[in-house]
Amino acid sequence: MSGNRQKKTICGLVALVGPPNTGKSTLLNRLLGQKITIVSPKPQTTRNRVLGIFNEPDCQIIFLDTPGLHQARNQLNREMVKTARNAMAEVDVVAYMIDVTVPTTAGSSGQRAEAARLLQNVGLPTLLLCNKIDRIEKEKLLPIIAVWQEVYPFKAIIPISATRGEGLDILLKQLRHLLPQGPKLFPEDIPTDASERFISSEIIREKIMMFTKDELPYATAVIIDHFRENPVQNLTTIHATILVEKDSQKGIIIGNRGAMLQKIGQAARHTIAAMLGVKVLLKLWVKVQKNWTGNPRTLRELGIREGDSRQLSVVSNQKLHPDN
Q: Do 155 and 67 share a structural domain?
A: yes
Q: Do 229 and 105 share a structural domain?
A: no
Q: Do 264 and 212 share a structural domain?
A: yes
What are the backbone angles phi and psi of residue 177, rounded to the nearest 5°?
A: -70, -30
Cα Dmax for the chain: 72
Q: Do 158 and 61 share a structural domain?
A: yes
Q: How many domains does one find in the chain?
A: 2
Continuous segment of H or E residues that includes residue 297: helix 296-301
Sequence letter at residue 101: T
Q: Please report, for the domain that includes residue 239, its CATH number.
A: 3.30.300.20
Distance CA 122, CA 124 (A): 6
- Contact between 70 and 46 under an 8 Å Cβ cutoff? The reply is no
Kindly state whether residue 112 falls inside one of the protein's structural domains. Answer: yes
Q: Do 112 and 28 share a structural domain?
A: yes
Q: Do 113 and 245 share a structural domain?
A: no
Kindly state whether residue 323 falls inside one of the protein's structural domains. Answer: no
CB-based burial, 222-252: b 16+ in 10 Å, e otherwise: bbbeebeeeeeeeebebebbbbbbeeebbeb
Pairing of strands 221-230, 235-244: antiparallel
Report pTM. 0.81
Rg (CA), the chain: 21
Kindly state whether residue 305 falls inside one of the protein's structural domains. Answer: no
Kindly state whether residue 302 falls inside one of the protein's structural domains. Answer: no
Q: Where in the sequence is the domain holding 121, given as residue range(s)?
A: 10-178
Kindly state whether residue 187 falls inside one of the protein's structural domains. Answer: no
Distance CA 142, CA 134 (A): 14
Continuous segment of H or E residues that includes residue 144: helix 141-149
pLDDT truncated to tens, each residue of the chain (324 aa)?
Answer: 444 445 689 999 999 998 888 999 899 999 999 888 867 666 555 556 788 999 999 999 999 887 655 454 554 555 555 665 676 778 999 999 999 998 876 556 778 888 898 899 899 999 999 999 999 998 999 999 999 999 999 999 999 999 999 999 999 999 999 999 999 999 998 899 888 999 999 999 999 989 987 767 567 889 999 999 999 999 999 999 999 999 999 999 999 999 999 999 999 999 999 999 999 999 999 999 988 878 888 888 877 654 444 334 333 333 333 333
